[in-house]
Amino acid sequence: MNRNAADLPLAGFTVVDLTRVLAGPYCTMMLADLGARVIKIENPDGGDDSRHVGPFVDGESAYFASVNRNKESIALDLKAPRDRAVLAAMIAGADVLVENFRAGVMEKLGFTWEALHAANPRLVYCSISGFGQTGPYRERPAYDMVVQAMGGLMSVTGENGGNPVRVGVSIGDLGAGLYAAIGIQSALLKRSRTGLGERVDIGMLDCQVALLENAIARHAATGAVPAPLGTRHPSITPFDMFRTGDGFIVIAAGNDNLFRKLCAALGDAALAADPRFATVAARNQHHAELKDCLEALLAHAGSAAWSGRLEAAGVPHGPLQSVADIVRDPHVQARGMLLQASIGDDRPITLAGNPVKVGAAPAAFAAAPRLDQHREALLAEFGTTDD
């Protein structure tokens, strides 16, 4: 593979990846980006489901390419004894196994935690599922939007009084993938002390509940049920998206000092002394009136001009950027957050990079594999060939 992972923190670790679609593949891609060897096991009948999700470039899925870089691919039929033997040989020497089947499927296939732990006591076995390995919902299937709805996230997303709204990215899957990567690395760290692997149990619904931030605490403290507020913060004002003369800008003035700086930068220092706005509590109570006042001032110039003034004043802010703006952003480019890969008939494609920077070593990179691309080499390595 076209990658150099030797100096990365997970170099030397081998991950057997039985995941598909998004939560699991995102987790294992994070591990691969940090240097782990990831062997992706796919269904011979078409491979990972996400290979069939668009958009497509020369017949290849850009969706699949975005979450499966730095991996090797082999197609195995887990119901066929010979292919199961190949998988067992891989797991016997692996550091980590990651699967995202529904709870109970691995047991039906014979790859239970108990059996694999007995055969390879150092193995970290991570299961990612909709609802975890225990509890009354454990056998239910789930997709991202199912857990966004059940986990309360959609109940606090959207405009006040509007219909519930899905978050614009698959945060149910991505959150689970990130928590799984944390759990796996924590288990590997513990193994360095004990010599024994652990079972890591990740439920997508659990992860959504964890991501509710302070909503549960606010409900417990006040008895009120958090509801959608649009873009504003429930406890800090001004902390919102504001209309300017030519677009929108986010302003986050998290304390009285920043609010005074904001008012001065907008040309109305006296606004900070208005009794309705002089304290955090007062601003929260009169948030709608304050927004009207600020937008009346902001209407006199465009977002770029205000950004310059707020930057000089030290007020946290940011323009509303589209995805097209993001890929042209010089800071995003300088941080290595855009990877250039090839797809289809060697056509270029830009993908999101890995935000985890560890030391000076650059993140490993190799394009997502073709289905069964590494079959011959992997069969030779694990003791069998197609012949």
Give me the CATH number covering residue 72.
3.40.50.10540
Contact 244, 299 (CB under 8 A): yes
What is the mean predicted confidence (pLDDT) over 99-109? 90
Asked if residue 326 belongs to a domain, the reply is: no
Asked if residue 206 belongs to a domain, the reply is: yes
Q: Check whether residue 362 and residue 265 sit in a common domain.
A: no
Among 319, 345, 363, the domain boundary falls at 319
Q: Check whether residue 27 and residue 165 sit in a common domain.
A: yes
Of the candidates 105, 110, 80, 76, the one whose C-alpha atom is nearest the C-alpha of residue 90 is 76
Q: Check whether residue 51 and residue 160 sit in a common domain.
A: yes
Asked if residue 9 belongs to a domain, the reply is: no
Q: Check whether residue 253 and residue 143 sit in a common domain.
A: no
Asked if residue 325 belongs to a domain, the reply is: no
Question: What whole-number distance in Å separates Cα of residue 366 and Cα of residue 341?
Answer: 8
Percentage of the residues of the chain whose pLDDT score is greater than 70: 98
pLDDT band at 386 (very low <50, low <70, confident <90, very high): low
Asked if residue 131 belongs to a domain, the reply is: yes
Q: Decide: residue 240, CB within 10 A, 0-12 exposed, 13-18 middle, 19+ buried.
A: buried
Q: Check whether residue 22 and residue 170 sit in a common domain.
A: yes
Contact 41, 16 (CB under 8 A): yes
Asked if residue 109 belongs to a domain, the reply is: yes
Asked if residue 50 belongs to a domain, the reply is: yes
Q: Decide: residue 168, CB within 10 A, 0-12 exposed, 13-18 middle, 19+ buried.
A: exposed
Asked if residue 324 belongs to a domain, the reply is: no
What is the mean predicted confidence (pLDDT) over 307-322? 96
Provide the pLDDT for residue 250: 98
pLDDT band at 103 (very low <50, low <70, confident <90, very high): confident
Q: Check whether residue 52 and residue 172 sit in a common domain.
A: yes
Q: Per mean pLDDT, which range of 73-77, 239-243, 274-278, 361-365 is the poorest? A: 361-365
How many independent structural domains does the chain possess?
A: 2
Contact 116, 97 (CB under 8 A): yes
Q: Check whether residue 271 and residue 365 sit in a common domain.
A: no
Residues recognised as catalytic? 233
Average pLDDT, the chain: 94
Question: What whole-number distance in Å separates Cα of residue 128 and Cα of residue 29?
Answer: 14
Q: Check whether residue 156 and residue 272 sit in a common domain.
A: no
Contacts of 383 (CB under 8 A, 6+ apart): 86, 89
Q: Check whether residue 349 and residue 312 sit in a common domain.
A: no
- pLDDT tens per residue across span 58-81: 999 999 999 999 999 999 999 999
Segments forming the whole domain that contains residue 164 = 14-211+333-381
pLDDT band at 189 (very low <50, low <70, confident <90, very high): very high
